[in-house]
């Protein structure tokens, strides 16, 4: 990956981290998720990590689409419940 692409990704993630800090902080992942991700990183399991990113992206697209179909200008914010595995 070139340096420009890396900088763009970092800038995007930093912006999202700042903009949605409260909403992201309120999300309760299933117990053991952080340890699972650390294990996948340590094992160099890039395929699983990329799958997880793609799955989250797809779920976000579906939420945005559903909000658009319901007439909302953007997906609902705040008060998310725990993620169910």
Give the residue extent of every domain in the chain: 3-69
Model pTM greater than 0.75? no
Tokens standing for residue 61: 């697209």
Q: Which residue has the tokens 């939420």?
A: 63
pLDDT of residue 62: 87
Per-residue pLDDT of the chain (85 residues), as tens digits, is 789 999 999 999 999 999 999 999 999 999 999 999 999 999 999 999 999 999 999 998 888 888 888 876 555 565 555 555 5
User: Which are the contacts of 84, defined by CB distance < 8 A and separation ≥ 6?
Assistant: 30
pLDDT of residue 66: 82
Contact assessment for residue 15 and residue 69, using Cβ atoms and an 8 Å cutoff: no
């Amino acid at each position: 990956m070139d340096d420009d692409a890396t900088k763009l990704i970092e800038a995007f993630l930093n912006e999202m981290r700042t903009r949605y800090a409260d909403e992201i902080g309120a999300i309760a992942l299933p117990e053991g998720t952080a340890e699972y991700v650390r294990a996948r990183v340590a094992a160099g399991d890039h395929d699983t990590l990329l799958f997880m990113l793609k799955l989250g992206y797809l779920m976000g697209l579906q939420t945005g689409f559903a909000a658009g179909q319901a007439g909302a200008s953007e997906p609902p914010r705040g008060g998310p419940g725990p993620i169910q595995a």
